[in-house]
Amino acid sequence: MAVSKAVTIASSALLLAALSSQGVFAAHVRPAGTSHSGPRYGGTLNVGVDSDFVTLDPALSSALIDRQALINIFDPLLKLSPTMQVEPNLVTHWTISNGGKTYALYLRHGVKFQDGTPFNAQAVVYNWKWEMNPKNASPRISDLTLVKSLSTPNPYEVVVNLSAPYTPFLSVLAGRTGMISSPTAMKKEGKNYPDHPVGTGPFEVVSWNPEGNLVLKKNPYYWQKGKPYLNKVVYTPIVEPTQEYDALLTGQEDLIDSVPYQDVNSIKSQPGIHSEVMNGLGTTSLELNTTYGPLKNYHNRSAINYAINRKALIDLIFFGHTKPAYSQYPPSSWAYNPNLKIPYSIADAKKQLKLAGDPHGFTVTLQMENDTTDEQMGEAIASELAKVGITVKLEPLDFTTLLTNAVDGNYEFNILGWSGRPDPDQNSYAFDTTGGSFNFPKYSNPEVNKFLLQAREAPTEAQRKILYNDAAKIILQQAPYIFIAYTPVIQAWSSKVEGYREYPDDLMRLANVWLK
């Protein structure tokens, strides 16, 4: 119902590589007030998630929700810190050479899969070759398109040769492409592997019922000694947001992946419940088809950009629990620039309409998901734009139709969020460059192409940040997208849950969690 859900579903279809990482954060995450008693072993954690899992094979998963389970079954090669920086995990260190085209990855020794077989360079290469084989229809293939060759000089080293420099490659290794399955289990299970996945993570799969519940238990081979603390984790998909929230209040669940925005204030007064609102990775935004109708003219797009009162929309939809957005790089990203913004100004909007030659406005059709929140947002946008003479016709659609129309360019203007990824490249390159796979506005600007390509190849974060900002300024001004708000991450858990930490990528890492 809430935008969080729209965005979750959006991205589960919009999929992409995913970010993710391992919650192997150690003692410093221990919450205040628990220092006198150390972690307690045992117990079952009940976790509510907002949709059904689709597959548990990281090589086949494209739904966003799958990552909630995968992050705990599979330890990715690299992990993300709470500030979304890439850190060593199963890959302990790496070197980049040959102008950014050769990556040597050094693997941790002594790691075993949950079936007791060793984790090594052969396993990594076996997984990637499987994913790169088009016959297997793996969504991971898009992360690996630049891979020219793979080699294993020794059992603990993988050398990756890329056909072009690609700085975000390390971030890819912290997502599903970095989640390695046991080749023995893959061969043994064949087509049934997605129901019986075997990884290196803190928890292994016990059962995945058709009823929707997923049960995990402690992995006895886990490489971090003494972890995890929990014996069992049970995931229950709850598609109705109010019901998920109620399940936490009644104690049926101990931890839930989202809280409806309208309940965020009341949850604070609930005894025995903790909740945190955090900047996420995604944005709630509008896409404007730049090749068709009145929005082909950039002054008309710009008029919309000025005429939308982001603050009012945030109060209406998010109950004030987030910040207005002006770019694809949210406050949780190192590429965020707080100074990039445009004012809410009816006068400027009217000026732009005059420049476009449409001083009395025009009529456009806005497509959105047929979901309470999105329709509410559509109505609010229509009433704001009516103030400058733009008539908005609303066309609510089911999500698959909305997305198909966007892919086919069969729309003028739509509401389509993006769940976001930790590396800025993953939030911009495919969206903004000419012919990019997510460039539904069909926007094309040689300068933006140049900046974003350079950012892929630039070796340092500081250099990349400048390039992303240069591109972001053009995008804001040209308005192929109009960014409304950064999507917040809001999770909640019972006070008997200890050692839990919320991350901007929304993934619930459970290796450090224990029950009081």
Partner 1 sequence: MAGFIIRRVLNLIPVAFVVLLVTFSLIHIAPGNPAYTILGDQASKSAVQLLDRKMGLNRPLVVQFLTYLNQVIHGNLGRSLLDNEPVASLIVTRLPVTLELSVLAIALSLAVALPIGVLAAYHANTWVDSLSRVLALIGAAVPNFWLALLLVYVFAVSLRWLPSLGWVPLNQGVGQNLEHLILPVVVLALPLIATTSRVLRGTLIEVLHLLYIQVARAKGLQERTVVLRHGFKNALIPVVTVVGMQVGLLLGGVVITESIFSLPGMGQLVVDAIFDRDYMVLQGSVLFMAMAVLLANLIVDLCYAWLDPRIRYN
Residues in contact with partner 1 by CB under 8 A are 13-17, 52, 54-55, 60, 62, 134-135, 137, 139, 141-142, 191, 194, 209-212, 236-240, 242-243, 246-247, 249-250, 252, 398-401, 403-405, 407-408, 410, 430, 437-438
Based on CB atoms, which residue is closest to partner 1, 14 or 308?
14
Least distance from partner 1 to the Cβ atom of residue 421, Å: 12
Based on CB atoms, which residue is closest to partner 1, 225 or 408?
408
Q: Encoding tokens for residue 146?
A: 């630049």
Based on CB atoms, which residue is closest to partner 1, 98 or 242?
242
CA 128/CA 152 separation, integer angstroms? 13
Least distance from partner 1 to the Cβ atom of residue 187, Å: 18
Based on CB atoms, which residue is closest to partner 1, 410 or 495?
410
CA 467/CA 465 separation, integer angstroms? 5
Other Cβ atoms closer than 10 A to 7? 26
Beta strands in 391-480 (DSSP E): 391-397, 413-415
CA 491/CA 499 separation, integer angstroms? 14
Least distance from partner 1 to the Cβ atom of residue 303, Å: 29
Based on CB atoms, which residue is closest to partner 1, 120 or 367?
367
Based on CB atoms, which residue is closest to partner 1, 28 or 211?
211
CA 203/CA 418 separation, integer angstroms? 29
Least distance from partner 1 to the Cβ atom of residue 388, Å: 32
DSSP, collapsed to helix, strand or coil, labels residue 241 as helix
Least distance from partner 1 to the Cβ atom of residue 325, Å: 22
Question: Rounded to whole angstroms, what are the CA distances from 58 to 25, 73, 141, 175, 475?
Answer: 22, 10, 12, 9, 33
Based on CB atoms, which residue is closest to partner 1, 141 or 355?
141
Based on CB atoms, which residue is closest to partner 1, 95 or 242?
242
Least distance from partner 1 to the Cβ atom of residue 62, Å: 4
Least distance from partner 1 to the Cβ atom of residue 512, Å: 27
Least distance from partner 1 to the Cβ atom of residue 16, Å: 6
Among 324, 353, 351, smallest CA distance to 340 is for: 324
Q: Kind and range of the H or E element at 169?
A: helix 169-172
CA 122/CA 154 separation, integer angstroms? 9
CA 366/CA 362 separation, integer angstroms? 13
* Percent helix, strand and coil across the chain, each to the nearest 5: 35, 20, 45
Least distance from partner 1 to the Cβ atom of residue 384, Å: 29
Based on CB atoms, which residue is closest to partner 1, 34 or 401?
401
Q: Who contacts 3 (Cβ-Cβ below 8 Å, separation ≥6)? A: 261, 284, 317, 318, 373, 374, 377, 417, 487
Residue owning tokens 């006895």 = 220
Based on CB atoms, which residue is closest to partner 1, 118 or 237?
237
Q: Encoding tokens for residue 25?
A: 């954060």
Based on CB atoms, which residue is closest to partner 1, 27 or 407?
407
Among 502, 507, 504, smallest CA distance to 488 is for: 504
Among 420, 426, 419, 418, smallest CA distance to 166 is for: 426
CA 67/CA 163 separation, integer angstroms? 29
Least distance from partner 1 to the Cβ atom of residue 232, Å: 16
Least distance from partner 1 to the Cβ atom of residue 171, Å: 15
Cβ-count burial 298-319 (b if 16+ within 10 Å, e if not)? bbbbbbbbbbbbbeebbebbbe
